[in-house]
A = this chain, B = another copy of it.
């Protein structure tokens, strides 16, 4: 039979996520992928098909990773409102820590590709719905526990949270490094709960 794969496909995908996230789809060349993944051209194409397929696989993997950690966070949280603030605070920390910030891979891909690639559009839209649901369930739970005000409809609040999360990721991608800007936004957001 054949020899076994010498590289781990998931590790390679993580590398692909990194560079696509950083440079975008159109900004990443095949040579960039070869250099960054550490695979030969042939292995790369044999394993993943072509650039678009590799991108789709990367984005799906990213989506799953993020969703899993989001679900885990809410499951282990005893206070929902605190958990929500943690999510945003973490985003702010990430936005400030590096000289450059990549923002959110999903948001970046939505802006760059959703209009022109139906497959990407579906991934983005599905992600939006499922993340919105996670937020919505969390908010409902928080409201039942008396941790979140019931003045706002849970679905509405979930969509609102999602929207502000997107906005902050764009701000980060745009290179905003003033902590006060983020803090002001967060202050306004959480005055609603």
How distant is the Cα of A59 from the Cα of B175 in the complex, in angstroms? 17
Task: Give the number of copies in the complex.
Answer: 2
Cβ of A64 under 8 Å from chain B: no
Contact residues of A between 118 and 161, Cβ < 8 Å to B: 121, 124-125, 128, 151-153, 155-157, 159-160
Cβ of A16 under 8 Å from chain B: no
Residues in B whose Cβ lies below 8 Å from that of A155: 184
Cβ of A185 under 8 Å from chain B: yes
How distant is the Cα of A162 from the Cα of B164 in the complex, in angstroms? 10
How distant is the Cα of A116 from the Cα of B28 in the complex, in angstroms? 12
Are A174 and B100 CB-contacts (below 8 A) given A153-B184, A159-B181, A181-B159?
A: no
Residues in B whose Cβ lies below 8 Å from that of A101: 115
Residue-wise interface mask of A (163-175) relative to B, using a CB-CB cutoff of 8 A (1 in contact, 0 not): 1111110110111
Q: Report which of B100, B162, B176 forms a contact with A128, defined as CB distance below 8 A.
A: B176
**A101 nearest CB neighbor, chain B only:** B115
21 sampled A-B residue pairs with Cβ under 8 A: A22-B115, A100-B115, A101-B115, A108-B111, A110-B173, A110-B174, A124-B175, A128-B174, A128-B176, A153-B184, A156-B184, A156-B185, A157-B188, A159-B184, A159-B188, A160-B185, A160-B189, A163-B167, A163-B168, A165-B167, A191-B192
Interface residues of A (CB under 8 A from B): 22-24, 26-27, 100-103, 107-108, 110-112, 114-116, 121, 124-125, 128, 151-153, 155-157, 159-160, 162-168, 170-171, 173-176, 181, 184-185, 187-189, 191-192
Other 18 A-B pairs with CB < 8 A, given A110-B170, A152-B191, A163-B171: A23-B116, A27-B116, A108-B111, A108-B112, A111-B170, A111-B173, A124-B174, A125-B174, A128-B174, A153-B187, A155-B184, A156-B184, A159-B188, A160-B189, A163-B167, A163-B168, A170-B170, A192-B192
